[in-house]
Amino acid sequence: MGVKVGFRILILKYKNMAQRKAADCRTMPSEKNCSLYISGTAEEVLDAATQHAVASHGHKNTPELREEIRKGLVDAND
Question: Which residue ranges make up the site for Zn ion (CB under 5 A)?
Answer: 25, 34, 36
Residue 69 burial (CB count, 10 A): 21
- Which of 4/61 has CB closer to Zn ion? 61
Q: How far is the CB of 20 from Zn ion (least distance, A)?
A: 20
Q: Provide, rounded to whole angstroms, the least separation between the CB of residue 23 and Zn ion.
A: 9
The alpha carbon of 50 is separated from its chain's Cα centroid by a whole number of angstroms, namely 11
Nearest-angstrom CA–CA distance, 15 and 10:
9
- Cα–Cα distance list, 9 to 6, 38, 40 (Å): 5, 27, 20
Q: Which is nearer to Zn ion, 27 or 41 (CB)?
A: 27
- C-beta closer to Zn ion: residue 17 or 73: 73
For Zn ion, the nearest residue by Cβ is 34
